[in-house]
Amino acid sequence: MNDTGASKTAQHAGLGHKDRLRLWIRLLRASRTIENELRLRLKSAFDMTLPRFDVMAALNREPEGLLMSDLSRFLLVSNGNVTVIVDRLVTDGLVVRSSREGDRRTSIVRLTDSGLTLFRQIATEHEKWVGELLGGISDEDARHLAVMLKSFRSNWET
Amino acid sequence: MNDTGASKTAQHAGLGHKDRLRLWIRLLRASRTIENELRLRLKSAFDMTLPRFDVMAALNREPEGLLMSDLSRFLLVSNGNVTVIVDRLVTDGLVVRSSREGDRRTSIVRLTDSGLTLFRQIATEHEKWVGELLGGISDEDARHLAVMLKSFRSNWET
DNA sequence: CAAAATTATTTCAAGTATGAAGTTTTAAGG
DNA sequence: CCTTAAAACTTCATACTTGAAATAATTTTG
């Protein structure tokens, strides 16, 4: 089972790289698989796209609203991207931009009432879907995984 | 540490859903973070995009070449998408479509010599980057994670 | 305070991405 | 055979995404 026995502490370059590469590929495939399935279901059940739902979910967490740059940072997508998605949600009446006292560069983005209503409907189903899609992972593993994924970031983000 | 004690076998609906949702969000954030960083580095070091590199990596695994539909299935992206990316790689001389005896609908896609040379250069760096970005995860955790992520899929893919 | 730097956002070109519709070719049924 | 169905792609309209450049407002500095 053990190879050289040096693997566990092989920080001195290159040895664990193959394992990490395999892990990255699996991580990517898992997240693409889930994302594809969620996209399909959102489309067919609610005529909603994933990026729009993501923005609504972020706004739902902050009843006070968020700046465009907050959305960009939180969702890990570019500024220009957020602009387009929010524009579309505004057109659909699900979201509003309200101007802010003291800083005319920014505007705060909030869910409208109908946006909130719709979000809650979708979120209920969405949560079930995720529960189902990740159902093959035990509760214990799920928690373990979540902890690992939470902490990995701080190690290289100077 | 334990709450009710019923969590481990709570298959009867709804209970683990919140945990799974959190896990999904972390999974998505982790993979977006890594993807964003890799995209940046590929661009600045090799003027290469991630989708093109993904196609080249898939082709590298199969010296015999792959059908368009094989690429689509393996990379989990649509047919139309693969067409565009491969078109671009052909234009750049990194890949060729060669027609096939016996079935004129299909063509086999392969790396060219220069495609293979370039891929190997990039892959070396790419592997280091991934090793670095996932370096915060111990070897043991990395293996554990990889196993979990490999098997989760079969549970709902009827 | 005025100039310079910073911050927040939008605009734009280029590149992905999907899913549906269309084309060409092959396989299956009769 | 010849029609029908199926398979493998490509094309197209629409939507998302990035990163760079442009705009506008605020803050910092000399």
Q: What's the distance, CA A135 to chain centroid?
A: 19
Torsion of CA A116, A47, A50, A107, to 10 degrees: -40
pLDDT in tens, A21-77: 999 999 999 999 999 999 999 999 999 999 999 999 999 999 999 999 999 999 999
Which of B11, B25, B27 is the best mutation test for A, with the most CBs of A within 10 A?
Answer: B27
Q: Whose CB is within 7 A of strand D? A: A 49-52, 76-81, 84-85, 88, 102-105; B 36, 39-40, 43, 67-70, 79-80, 82-84, 86-87, 97, 103, 105-107
Domains in chain A (CATH in brackets) are 17-153 (1.10.10.10)
Per-residue pLDDT in tens (0 to 9) along chain B, 158 residues: 444 434 444 444 455 788 889 999 999 999 999 999 999 999 999 999 999 999 999 999 999 999 999 999 999 999 999 999 999 999 999 999 998 888 999 999 999 999 999 999 999 999 999 999 998 888 888 888 888 887 766 555 54
CB atoms within 10 A of CB A93: 12
pLDDT at A152 over 90: no
Q: Which of B73, B74, B123, B114 is nearest to B96 (CA)?
A: B114
Confidence of residue A10 (pLDDT cuts 50, 70, 90): very low
Name the closest residue on chain A to residue B151, using Cα atoms.
A136
- Structure-block tokens of residue A130: 């995720």
Q: Which residue of A has its CA nearest to B15?
A: A131
The pLDDT of residue B101 is: 83
pLDDT at B106: 94
Q: pLDDT tens-digit profile of A103-144? A: 999 999 999 999 999 999 999 999 999 999 998 888 888 888
Q: Which two tokens stand for residue B137?
A: 């995860």
B95-99 vs B107-111, strand pairing mode: antiparallel
Q: Which residues of B touch A18 (CB under 8 A)?
A: 127
Q: d(Cα B124, Cα A91) in Å, to the nearest integer?
A: 46
Q: What is the pLDDT of residue B11?
A: 44
Among B8, B24, B9, B39, CA closest to B149: B24
Contact B133, B37 (CB under 8 A): yes
Chain A neighbors of B123, CB-CB under 8 A: none
The residues, any chain, with a CB within 8 Å of residue A126's CB and separated by 6 or more, are A38, A42, A53
Dihedral of CA A27/A37/A75/B83: which sign? positive
Residue A96 has pLDDT above 80, yes or no: yes
Judging contacts by C-beta atoms under 8 Å, the chain A residues touching residue B20 are: 130-131, 134-135, 137, 142
Structure confidence at residue B155 (pLDDT): 55
